[in-house]
Amino acid sequence: MPIDVSPTARALRTLEILQTRPGTTAVELADRLGVTERAARRYVGILREAGIPVDSARGPHGGYRLRRGTRLPPVVFTQAEALGLVMAVLDGHPSAADSGDPVGAALGKVIQALPEGVGRQAAALKEHASAAPDRSSARPDPATTSVLVAAVAARRRVLVTYRSESGRQWEAEVDPWAVVVRHGRWYLLCRSLRADAIRTYRVDRVTAVQQTTDEFEPPEGLDPVAALEENLGAGWEYQTRVLFDAPLAKVAPWIRPPMGRLEACGAGCVLVGSTSNPAMYAQEWLTTVPFAFRVEDGPELRAAVAEVAARFAAAVS
């Protein structure tokens, strides 16, 4: 069944296109809207009738563009959009229900700007909904995150100071490829110049960051999420190699990407990675895997597993 798109909706979509792509021609606009060139010009006319100054120019560098200094109309949400926004914020940041929290204060301002009927529903949702915080989540410093995101967008190399989970701190010069949010944690996916290798840094552990004037080009066709998943367990202080006496298909659902890379090995499989905290690796990660295993490499991890095993054995002796 065809979807009926109103002229107002297409006019607003036209406004969005001109905001993000100044110089869009009538042909390009028609292609993006899925209408004829004549209809595209009509939607530009609707914007002009609404008092939004849209300039046009002919020639190779012509096209439609919003006049400089144009004040755009306020953002309008439907009730479903407004409630969806509130739910997403509360889900990702449970403390946003508190007006004293910076995110909560910002969300409150958004709700106040909504039309009365929609705003009433959104305010009720914010006031009466409760969200349990994710214990594994970590909130990075907004200023640090902003600098990293700006460097990613500008493709500028950065100097970062990083503190690992074990407390060791170092500086690194990196090409910031992407900032990725995964399961309540923010990561910087980058290439370390010194190691000439991909690194994944938790943004909440970046204690300082400085953008340089050096530019870089990210890998062509980069999939940030896939690259993060593949490299979360690489590049840390202590090497790990754990052999499981069970097939890969059974073990894989129990392995978190930061634990390393899981590969088939005979009738079983092997987990190869690295960690900055062997105690956590042994106590919080390996103890949850319901299959027999042995630590083949990594003296620090072997010692941590032995300590956990001794503690469990003492509990039942």
| CATH number of the domain encompassing residue 162 | 2.30.30
Answer yes or no: do 118 and 162 share one domain: no
**Which one of 36, 66, 96 terminates a domain?**
66
Q: For 30-40, how does the pLDDT look when each residue is reduced to its tens digit (9 = 90+)?
A: 998 888 999 88
Half-sphere exposure of 22 (CA within 13 A, CB side): 9
Measured distance CA(10)–CA(23) in Å, rounded: 18
Which CATH number do you get for residue 46?
1.10.10.10
Give the per-residue pLDDT at 69.
65
Q: How many CB atoms lie within 10 A of CB 208?
A: 13
The answer to which of 105-109, 210-214, 255-259 has the lowest mean pLDDT is 105-109
Query: Phi and psi (nearest 5°) for 4?
Result: -85, 110
Answer for the pair 161, 206: CB distance below 8 angstroms, yes or no.
yes
**Is 292 part of any domain?**
yes
Same domain, 293 and 274: yes
Residue 299 has pLDDT above 90, yes or no: yes
Write out the E strands in 27-117. Answer: 54-57, 63-66
Number of domains the chain contains = 4
118-132 pLDDT per residue, tens: 778 888 887 877 777
Handedness of CA 193, 196, 198, 202 (dihedral sign): negative
CB 206 within 8 A of CB 144: yes
269 and 245 inside one domain:
yes
Question: Cβ neighbours of residue 277 under 8 Å, at least 6 residues apart?
Answer: 164, 165, 166
List residues bridging with 273 in a β-sheet: 240
Alpha-carbon torsion (258, 260, 261, 265), positive or negative: negative
More confident call, 12 vs 228: 228
DSSP for 82-102 reads HHHHHHHHHHH-GGGGSTTSH
Q: Is the pLDDT of residue 76 over 70?
A: no
Long-range CB contact pairs, 254-258, < 8 A, 24+: 254/288, 254/289, 254/290, 254/291, 255/289, 256/285, 257/228, 257/229, 257/230, 257/232, 257/233, 258/232, 258/233
Whether 160 and 226 share a structural domain = yes
The answer to whether residue 72 sits within a structural domain is no
**pLDDT confidence of 1, banded at 50, 70, 90?**
very low
pLDDT digits (tens, 9 = 90+) for 152-176: 999 999 999 999 877 889 999 999 9
Q: Which of 66, 87, 111 is the last residue of a domain?
A: 66
Tally of CB atoms within 10 A around 11:
20
User: Is it the case that residue 66 has pLDDT exceeding 50?
Assistant: yes
Phi, psi dihedrals of residue 199, rounded to the nearest 5°: -130, 150
Q: How many CA atoms lie within 13 A of 184 on its CB side?
A: 12
213 and 245 belong to one structural domain = no
- The reply to whether 184 and 217 lie within a common domain is yes
Specify if 195 maps to a domain: yes
Cα(317)–Cα(313) distance, rounded to whole angstroms? 6
Whether 137 maps to a domain, the answer reads: no
Assign 236 a pLDDT band (cuts: 50, 70, 90): confident
Q: Is residue 134 part of a domain?
A: no
Under the banding of pLDDT at 50, 70 and 90, the label for residue 82 is confident
Which residues span the domain enclosing 85?
A: 79-128
- Top-confidence residue, 61 or 44: 44
- Is 148 within the bounds of a domain? yes
Q: CATH number, domain at 293?
A: 3.30.70
| 152 and 220 belong to one structural domain | yes
Structural domain includes residue 133 = no
Does 268 reside within a domain? Answer: yes
